[in-house]
């Protein structure tokens, strides 16, 4: 029986070895396909640190593979299976269902992860694998674990939540080594944590993790107070750990390029930024729960304010805000923030249960940039001018849910020893928190 499996095999560790051993047990000839850099990029794999030849050598030196080939393009698996007369295609169970289409050509086997194996070796290796623990078991936490598999050098070690049942289900669903019964147990087992709990609990978890000497990636908003956010960054600096607010848009390639084009002078001086983010959400939901700091400002304003601060900076001179208030829910459901700068103006619009066109428009003295909805997942934008023949269209990848970009930057910062990234500076997170704080406190309310 001939077996084939595929992978990047970057920073080869014991988890890779066990996967190959289990694949080898399925037959008597194992073919291992190692992905090229270009193919990894095309499929959204980030932060691959070793060259193709080094990764091939990793597999060869394991002594498990009978044959090593290279995967270069989408659809190659079908050709490889037929070309090499493969009987079994084997892949890790984190890809469950993804390759069912290959069952027309051979048997497809999803190999369950052997818990407690890779983590044991990783604790003793210096290869640079970052062990991350997840705090929270909600929708975004589930997406985070799924996205992390696209970032080389990252291992999701375990999870903690105050609900033991949720921990048990989450651990089983993602085949994690650790379902922690306490936050201390999780912190003892990891190098870094991702905080994905309701807004009102972020600060406490971030403080506890930093005090334990752990790096922290915290879902937005990190806090709803500029002072608290600033204190957390100061605490991180004191403990010499990385702290990053997980605003995924800030780290996506398309958004970064859009900002660069707008700030380059190609559309002249930026005079206006209009950003809108709304979505339909019905109560009861966490987003509309006042007990968890719900409302459209706390839930969504981070995104349009990110665009404002990246394009106009932190030097606003005035802020006016208006909100539609729901007496039944006890939160605001639609808000508009107007900011004035010395030479520009900006508006940020948010809504929960109210839907509007979610575009981003950056107006300049020579032209403007239009980013269609959902601009916070920027894949495409246009630079438009008075003379339409000068218009330019820009296309960029936004893979998956986009969380892989923030994970990649977070892990790279830790590896490089950087405490700040230009993609989202601490001062920008502090500024955003301050605007939301002021808007929530001072907004003119309409019922």
Cα pseudo-dihedral 191, 197, 203, 209, rounded to 10? -20
Residue range 280-298: mean pLDDT, rounded:
86
The predicted-structure confidence for 211-239, as pLDDT tens digits, reads as follows 999 999 999 999 999 999 999 999 999 99
Question: For residue 443, is pLDDT > 80?
Answer: no
Residue 297 to residue 348: CA distance in whole angstroms: 10
CA distance 135 to 138: 10
In this prediction, residue 117 carries a pLDDT of 44
Quote the pLDDT of residue 126.
38
| 46 — pLDDT class (breaks 50, 70, 90) | confident
297: nearest Cα among 218, 244, 360, 352: 352
pLDDT of 281 reads 85
In angstroms, the CA 437 to CA 302 distance is: 11
Give the model confidence (pLDDT) of 8-33 as tens digits: 998 888 888 999 999 999 999 999 99
Q: How confident is the model at residue 115 (pLDDT cuts 50, 70, 90)?
A: low
Mean pLDDT of 274-285: 89
Compute the distance between CA of residue 348 and CA of residue 40 in angstroms, rounded to an integer.
36
Which pairing describes strands 444-446 and 318-326: parallel, antiparallel, or unpaired?
parallel
Question: How would DSSP label each residue in 56-117?
Answer: HHHHHHHT--SEEEEE-STTHHHHHHHHTT-SEEEEEGGGTTTTGGGGGTSEEEEEPP-TTT
Q: Is the pLDDT of residue 49 over 60?
A: yes
Q: Identify the pLDDT of residue 288.
A: 86
Q: Whole-angstrom Cα distance, residue 248 to residue 245?
A: 9
For residue range 311-348, what is the model confidence (pLDDT) as tens digits?
999 999 999 999 998 888 888 999 999 999 999 999 99
Dist. CA 306–CA 425, nearest whole Å: 11
For residues 73-91, give the mean pLDDT. Answer: 93
Gap between the Cα atoms of 297 and 334, Å rounded = 8
pLDDT at position 447, please?
A: 62
Q: Which of 431, 443, 428 is nearest to 338 (CA)?
A: 443
* Helix ranges, 162-285 (H): 164-174, 183-189, 202-211, 226-238, 248-251, 253-263
> Model-level pTM?
0.83
pLDDT at 118: 41
Per-residue confidence (pLDDT) for residue 397, from 0 to 100: 87
The reported pLDDT for the residue numbered 279 is 93
Q: What's the confidence (pLDDT) of residue 15?
A: 83
Q: What is the mean pLDDT of residues 374-394?
A: 96
User: Where do the domains of the chain lie, and which CATH numbers do they carry?
Assistant: 2-111 (3.40.50.620), 118-247 (3.40.50.720), 250-402+412-446 (3.30.360.10)
- 205: Cβ contacts below 8 Å, ≥ 6 apart: 135, 183, 193, 195, 197, 218
pLDDT at 162 over 80: yes
The strands making up 367-371's β-sheet, listed across from edge to edge, are: 392-395, 380-385, 367-371, 360-364, 270-279, 344-352, 331-341, 318-326, 444-446
Q: 26 and 59 in contact (C-beta within 8 Å)? A: no
């Amino acid at each position: 029986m001939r077996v084939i499996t595929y992978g990047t095999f970057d920073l080869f560790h014991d988890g890779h070895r066990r996967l190959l051993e289990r694949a080898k047990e399925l037959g008597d000839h194992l073919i291992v396909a190692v992905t090229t850099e270009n193919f990894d990029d095309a499929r959204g794999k980030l932060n691959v640190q070793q060259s193709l030849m080094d990764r091939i050598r990793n597999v060869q030196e394991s002594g498990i593979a009978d044959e090593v080939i290279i995967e270069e393009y989408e659809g190659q698996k079908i050709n490889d299976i037929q070309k090499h007369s493969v009987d079994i295609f084997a892949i890790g169970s984190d890809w469950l269902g993804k390759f069912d289409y290959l069952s027309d050509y051979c048997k497809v086997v999803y190999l369950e992860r052997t818990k407690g194996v890779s983590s044991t070796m990783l604790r003793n290796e210096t290869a640079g694998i970052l062990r991350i623990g997840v705090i929270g078991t909600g929708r975004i936490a589930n997406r985070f674990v799924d996205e992390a598999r696209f970032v080389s050098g990252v291992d999701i070690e375990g999870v903690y939540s105050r609900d033991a049942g949720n921990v048990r289900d989450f651990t089983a669903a993602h085949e994690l080594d650790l379902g922690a019964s306490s936050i201390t147990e999780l912190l003892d087992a990891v190098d870094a944590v991702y905080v994905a709990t309701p807004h009102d609990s972020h600060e406490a978890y971030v403080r506890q993790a930093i005090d334990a000497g752990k790096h922290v990636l915290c879902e937005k908003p990190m806090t709803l107070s500029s002072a608290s956010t600033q204190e957390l960054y100061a605490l991180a600096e004191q403990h010499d750990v990385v702290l990053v607010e997980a605003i995924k848009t800030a780290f996506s390639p398309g958004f970064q390029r859009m900002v660069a084009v707008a700030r380059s002078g190609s559309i002249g001086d930026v005079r206006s930024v209009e950003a809108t983010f709304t979505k339909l959400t019905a109560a009861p939901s966490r987003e509309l729960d006042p007990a968890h700091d719900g409302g459209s400002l706390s839930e969504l304003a981070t995104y349009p304010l990110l665009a404002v601060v990246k394009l106009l900076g932190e030097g606003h001179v005035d802020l006016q805000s208006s909100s539609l208030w729901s007496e039944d829910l006890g939160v605001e459901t639609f808000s508009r923030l107007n900011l004035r700068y010395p030479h520009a103006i900006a508006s940020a619009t948010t809504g929960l249960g109210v839907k509007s066109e979610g575009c981003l428009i950056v107006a300049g003295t020579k032209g403007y940039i239009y980013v269609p909805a959902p601009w916070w997942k920027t894949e495409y934008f246009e630079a438009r001018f008075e003379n339409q023949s000068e218009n330019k269209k820009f296309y960029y990848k936004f893979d998956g849910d986009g969380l892989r970009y923030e994970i990649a930057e977070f892990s790279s910062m830790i590896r490089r020893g950087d405490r700040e990234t230009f993609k989202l500076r601490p001062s920008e997170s502090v500024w955003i928190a301050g605007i939301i704080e002021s808007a929530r406190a001072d907004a003119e309310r309409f019922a």
